Amino acid sequence: MLNVVPIPILNDNYIWTIIHGKKTVVIDPGLSDPVLKYHQKYNLELTAILITHHHHDHIGGIDGIINQHNVPVYAPYHEKFNFKYHQVQENSKIQLFDNTLEFSVIEVPGHTLEHIIYHGNKLLFCGDTLFSFGCGRIFEGTYRQMYDSLRKFKSIDPDSKVYCTHEYTLKNLEFLKNYFKDNTFYEKKYQNLSKSMITLPSLLKDELESNPFLNSSYDEFKKLREAKDLF
């Protein structure tokens, strides 16, 4: 049995924690203290850290954690990384929990150039590339790169649960309500989801169907992303 729980940090980040028995894997620990405390509180054993990209709110906790837990860190190559890590790239496989879970790595440049996502066992950890009803801001790549990266989600098992790093769903829906003025779908979604504390994970199938960042033409995508940047 695999459970995935969020450790909320900062304004709207989640450090997703996969739990198998008493063992765990954490993804993108932006801070160390909340992770260490969580493991102490529930008597859990951390076994690995996965990193999607180099932004500080995704890696800031690594040093503090590996000072206390000597566990492997998996990350894409980045010249700024000064911690010890196993470098992974497109199609790398990572075995976790004594081979109970295998993740494949998919490269998705756009938000940053080295950004990767992890997929396996109907779990998808997508960092800051895909958000529920949105996508990441394009900081380092081009619109074309981000568009091509988002198209890669179409070949992932649609029954996968989508674990994004930020709670942006309602903000994204606000934007879509405003952008697609005659569309009541986003208004309804907004009303439904505004009652929940946590809107994640979402389901990839639903994102493929109703997230316009995933199912638009390139020109539509670019317009949408530019409008979102100014929203």
| Residue 55 sits in the site that holds Zn ion (CB under 5 A) | yes
Q: Which amino acid is at 34?
A: P
- State the number of binding residues for Zn ion (CB under 5 A): 2
| 69 forms part of the interface with Zn ion (CB under 5 A) | no
- In 3D, which of 20, 38, 203 has the Cα closest to residue 96? 20
Beta pairing, strands 123-127 & 130-131: unpaired
Q: Rounded to the nearest whole angstrom, what is the least distance from the CB of residue 209 to Zn ion in the complex?
A: 25
Selected range binding Zn ion among 43-51, 53-61, 86-94, 178-186, rule: CB under 5 A = 53-61
Residue with Cβ nearer Zn ion (96 or 116):
116
Q: Decide whether 131 or 186 has the Cβ nearer to Zn ion.
A: 131
- Closest to Zn ion by CB, 127 vs 201, is 127
Written as six digits, the tokens of 96 are 């976790």
Query: Of residues 114, 128, 167, 207, which one binds Zn ion by CB under 5 A?
Result: 128
| 42 C-beta neighbours (distance < 10 Å), count | 12
Nearer to Zn ion by C-beta: 120 or 136? Answer: 136
Number of DSSP helices (H) and strands (E) in the chain, helices first:
9, 14
Q: Residue 141 CB: number of other CB atoms within 10 A?
A: 19
Residues that bind Zn ion (CB under 5 A): 55, 128
